[in-house]
Structure 1
Amino acid sequence: MSTDQPQSIAPEALPEVVTGFLAAHRAHDTAAALGFLRPDATVTDDGRTYRGAPAIEAWMNRSAGEYTYTTELTGAQRADAEHYVATHHLEGDFPGGAVDLHYRFRLGGGLIEDLRIEP
């Protein structure tokens, strides 16, 4: 991420590409979510990195059915024009039952170039 210190922002101040991706991801609409990603994007989740649309699509389809959970956007940060963090609180039937996850976005060319999901 950028060397700038991230600043808290209102979740509605996140870029449309970020909020659109999050809404599609939450709705398990893989096709719509992929539309917010560069074709060569990378997603890192649970220690695994997925590169390119086919790998990301497979990850999204697999993760959509793995557990049942609710998610709530609880915070947002902006480091610079290309780096944003959206914090979500998840509760469900996954190990541990509850977790706060940070979705760290790097944008490029108006789309998501890199996404890292981590506690």
Structure 2
Amino acid sequence: MMKRIAALAAPLMLLSACSTTSTISVLESKYQTDQPACQVTFFKKAKPDREFETLAQIESHVQRNVFFGGDAKLEDQAYAELKTKTCNLGGNAVIINDYVESRAAEFSHVHVWATTVKLL
């Protein structure tokens, strides 16, 4: 009986090891999306010093089980998620409005609020 429970529990633990959720509020969508070789610049402490057009507001939450998926970090998993979303919207930069990195039990979290923009 214990072997059967362990066999059922193992896949569930792996499935719950990592998750990412995002909410996107698109404001402008007139640019070509998902360009090949899309390059994204991140502005964490300042806004761009040149003109830009705001495309969307993104709220993203990344969760990792530290035993199975490692730590969730802004510059790693959150930036990767934001880059994908930005490229899909035709943007080329992200302004980090705010973020929180936290840990609860075996889970690490990054919650980030960002603005996707097109540098002109």
**Fold match (TM-score > 0.5):** no
Higher relative contact order (CA 8 A, sep 6+): 2
Higher-strand-fraction structure? 1
Which structure would you say has the larger Rg? 2
Q: TM-score, normalised by structure 2?
A: 0.29
